[in-house]
Amino acid sequence: MKIFGHRGAAGLVAENTLESIAEALLYPIDGIEIDVHLCKSGELVVIHDETLDRTTNGKGNVSDYTIRELKKFSSEEGFKIPTLEEVLHLIDARCNLNIELKGKNTAIPMVKLVEEYIHKTHWEYNHFIISSFDHPQLFEIKETNSKFKIGVLTEENITAVLPVAKELDAFSIHPPITTLTNDEVTLAQEKGLRVYVWTVNTENLIKQSKKWNVDVVITDFPNFV
């Protein structure tokens, strides 16, 4: 079973910041999960919410600000909102990266940026898993570049999204730990799908996931490993 740090190491350091990702990299993890939105000036920025309000001292929609304006805001700890490019540079292919497409119109800019990194650095397609609850954006990815591994996110159970996963020829399904059952894990894997479960934040749930042969657990606390 592999371990991915959720939004870096969100339980230890402010989520989706370079500092949180650097913290996650201190532990023997296999990957990191982050969220991206498109800002007004066209850059992909790493932040979970559509708005700045919860995680920064700014207010309003991320999409209403340019990158220069977004860099003026910070978390309570003083950490800046990073760009996807900054995250790629920091991780430097030391582990896999699960990019969750959160905002609208993020699919094509993500493909262009990641393709550039793959061509000019030692990142490879195999390092990436692209996931989203916005399944139409996953179809955009598939139509634009079929080399990317696709992860189908769901807030329901695995069964609910099996038809979408099949149509996408997806690599994985990403259900919440709250709906997960051993039978659902087995069902997905029998259909050739990996199971990436979120957000697994206790040692007991990590042990349970391992017992059920989950492929990847996504956790706020990579220090549990």
Instruction: Give the active site residue among 37, 48, 127, 174.
Output: 48
Q: Could you say which of 6, 37, 127, 135 is catalytic?
A: 6
Query: One-letter amino acid identity for 54?
Result: R
DSSP character at residue 125: G
Give the Cα separation of 167 and 139 in Å (integer). 9
Residue 6 annotated to the active site: yes
CA-CA-CA-CA dihedral for 24, 30, 36, 42, to nearest 10: 100
Identify which of 183, 125, 133 has the alpha carbon closest to the alpha carbon of residue 156.
133
Length of the chain: 225
Could you tell me whether strands 31-38 and 194-197 are parallel, antiparallel, or unpaired per DSSP bridges? unpaired
Cα(148)–Cα(125) distance, rounded to whole angstroms? Answer: 6
Backbone angles phi, psi at 21, to 5 degrees: -65, -40
Q: Among all residues, which ones are annotated catalytic?
A: 6, 48
